[in-house]
Amino acid sequence: MGFGQSDGYDRGPREMHKVICSDCKKECEVPFKPSGDRPVYCKDCFSKRKNENR
């Protein structure tokens, strides 16, 4: 049966949302929908903050 066949449903392409990073103000894309009431960070700033915030 269809095992090993990827129908693209489970690991389908994520919808990316263009946002402006709240830290460096750079335009970036995030794989989740920004809620609007929370700051959104690019990958760089996100990992930077994660490191600072341990």
23 counts as binding Zn ion under rule CB under 5 A:
yes
3-state secondary structure of 29: strand
DSSP 27: E
42 counts as binding Zn ion under rule CB under 5 A:
yes
We find the least distance from the C-beta atom of residue 45 to Zn ion, in angstroms, to be 3
We find the least distance from the C-beta atom of residue 33 to Zn ion, in angstroms, to be 18
> Which range, of 6-14, 17-25, 31-39, touches Zn ion by CB under 5 A?
17-25
